[in-house]
């Protein structure tokens, strides 16, 4: 049957504008409307699964939660860990005791003043198995937490843990009020933190409206009265909205749309080498995929450079290890399994896996991952492997694919971390990573990296682990994409935090 979908740039533009107008009308925003200078409208590719910072591992959630919560420490633009709710800290000589001095006169959204009891209650909540925090293991080194006095809190670790400070700086270390924790408050839908904004409205899968918290502890921030975050997975709608002035900023510009966006004098493109590693993840617990020859065959069958540059942009950087190129722990190695369809067929035959059929789960909010999946499907077909794509809603992907292991292959991007342990922890231990990858030697190396404080020795340890992981091929590493965000020309101080890809609107103006 012949498609009646409009084709060509002009038709695409008309269609995008029609979709945009319909989407804006659905939330009561007339096309062409001008927004006040102290309201910022931002188009984000997907919606958070929860607003409980300890109840999720999803980047989309933290991209919203950064505006609602603060952590004890945070990264600056170069990745250095700097004070936030904690104004200073000291460490014992053995590295096991960390003492933090809190800022005075910090208030939560509901009026309570921050004290050491809130910090203690927050981390006890994370460590409580009943909370079911997906990041609980990141804090497993904590043996005790003591509120020394109202503004002093002390952590005692059971072992040296080199990433401790960096772990506190991630969004899942957000501080919650002890009184609401004690009352089992529903933070997932009614978040209460110390952050620069509060939630005024949340329409799931549509928008979230943030209002300035006038009691924020940094004087003069935030500059904006309101941030309206629209959840817009369609790239064409985002770009059309930006060019029409309905969006002040969008989180991503598709590579094919860059010339049109750059040609518009009213917008500005921000180019950023990301800390992502995009992968074709392999569920190594599946019977056919337990054989390393099959996994290596999949790597040989996929023209990774073509997938990377077609789906994610021509400036994307291929990687052969599970680390982004901007990380100081990145290690360059030769491609262990270069594109070679004939070699892929031989390996599949040796493993008795010729004619293999695999499920390929693709996350709906990410059109680039879906496009990559289509390319991977075609490439695998050439070596006799049938990949059956299914596009799944983001919540389903998180709960059933990532957490539940209901997939053979999936395509996803792993966001950066402030410390390599944040990316690698759990790999090598079958029950602690979503690809079910097991290798005791890799597990031991990653554990050694966690307790080693010497930076150069840590680099050598992680380099060995990364090389061994590449040989075992639990994923086909595609590479690190370049991200193109865009804003209207008048926007200033629109920024993402180093490595962890969360948006900080505290200084943003328009």
For residue 28, the model assigns a pLDDT of 41
Write the DSSP symbol of residue 431: G
> Which domains does the chain carry?
19-49+195-274+483-504 (3.40.190.10), 73-182 (3.90.76.10), 277-480 (3.10.105.10)
pLDDT at 269 over 60: yes
Measured CA to CA, the distance from residue 136 to residue 55 in angstroms comes to 10
Mean pLDDT over 343-362 rounds to 98
The pair of structure tokens assigned to 303 is: 């023209």
For residues 416 and 104, the model is more confident at 104
- In the block, which residue shows the tokens 């617990």? 285
The band of 256, judged by pLDDT with boundaries at 50, 70 and 90, is: confident
Which residues neighbour 430 within 8 Å (Cβ) at sequence distance 6 or greater?
285, 436, 437, 438
Q: Is 281 left (phi over 0), alpha (psi -120 to 50) or beta?
A: beta
The band of 8, judged by pLDDT with boundaries at 50, 70 and 90, is: very low
Mean pLDDT over 408-432 rounds to 94
Write the DSSP symbol of residue 10: H
The band of 313, judged by pLDDT with boundaries at 50, 70 and 90, is: confident
pLDDT at 114 over 60: yes
pLDDT at 157 over 70: yes
Mean pLDDT over 48-75 rounds to 96
pTM: 0.81
pLDDT at 260 over 50: yes
- In terms of Cα–Cα distance, which of 68, 73, 52 is closest to 108? 68
pLDDT at 291 over 70: yes
């Amino acid at each position: 049957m012949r498609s009646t979908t409009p084709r060509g740039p002009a038709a695409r533009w008309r269609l995008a504008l029609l979709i945009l107008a319909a989407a804006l009308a659905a939330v009561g925003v007339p096309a062409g409307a001008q927004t006040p200078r102290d309201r910022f409208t931002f188009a984000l590719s997907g919606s958070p699964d929860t607003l409980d910072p300890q109840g999720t591992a999803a980047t989309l959630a933290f991209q919203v939660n950064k505006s609602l919560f603060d952590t004890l420490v945070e990264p600056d633009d170069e990745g250095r860990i700097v004070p936030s709710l904690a104004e200073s800290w000291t460490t014992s000589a053995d590295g096991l005791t960390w003492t933090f001095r809190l800022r005075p006169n910090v208030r939560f959204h509901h009026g309570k003043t921050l004290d050491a009891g809130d910090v203690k209650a927050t981390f006890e909540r994370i460590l409580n198995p009943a909370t079911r925090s997906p990041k609980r293991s990141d804090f497993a080194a904590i043996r005790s937490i003591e509120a020394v006095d109202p503004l002093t809190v002390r952590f005692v670790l059971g072992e040296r843990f080199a990433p401790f400070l960096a772990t506190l700086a991630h969004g899942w270390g957000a501080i919650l009020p002890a009184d609401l924790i004690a009352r089992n408050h529903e933070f997932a839908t009614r978040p209460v933190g110390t952050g620069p904004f509060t939630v005024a409205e949340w329409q799931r899968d549509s928008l979230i409206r943030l209002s300035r918290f006038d009691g924020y502890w940094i004087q003069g921030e935030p500059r904006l009265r309101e941030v309206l975050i629209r959840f817009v997975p369609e790239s064409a709608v985002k770009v059309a909205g930006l060019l029409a002035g309905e969006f002040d900023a969008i989180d991503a510009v598709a590579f094919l749309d860059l010339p049109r966006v750059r040609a518009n004098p009213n917008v500005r493109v921000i180019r950023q080498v990301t800390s992502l590693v995009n992968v074709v993840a392999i569920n190594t617990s599946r019977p056919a995929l337990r054989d390393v020859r099959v996994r290596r065959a999949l790597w040989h069958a996929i023209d990774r450079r073509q997938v990377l540059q077609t789906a994610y942009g021509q400036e994307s950087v291929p990687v052969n290890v599970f680390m982004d190129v901007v990380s100081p722990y990145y290690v360059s190695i030769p491609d262990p399994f270069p594109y070679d369809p004939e070699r892929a067929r031989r390996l599949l035959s040796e493993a008795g896996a010729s004619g293999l059929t695999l499920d390929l789960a693709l996350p709906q909010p990410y059109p680039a991952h879906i496009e990559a999946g289509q390319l991977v499907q075609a490439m695998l077909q050439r070596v006799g492997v049938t990949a059956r794509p299914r596009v799944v809603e983001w919540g389903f992907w998180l709960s059933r694919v990532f957490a539940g292991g209901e997939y053979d292959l999936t395509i996803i991007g792993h966001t950066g971390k402030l410390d390599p342990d944040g990316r690698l922890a759990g790999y090598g231990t079958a029950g602690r990573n979503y690809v079910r990858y097991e290798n005791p030697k890799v597990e031991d190396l990653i554990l050694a990296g966690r307790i080693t404080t010497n930076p150069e020795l840590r680099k050598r340890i992680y380099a060995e682990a990364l090389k061994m992981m590449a040989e075992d091929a639990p994923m086909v590493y595609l590479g690190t994409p370049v991200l193109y965000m865009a804003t209207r020309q008048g926007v200033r101080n629109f920024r993402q935090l180093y490595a962890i890809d969360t948006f900080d609107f505290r200084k943003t103006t328009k």
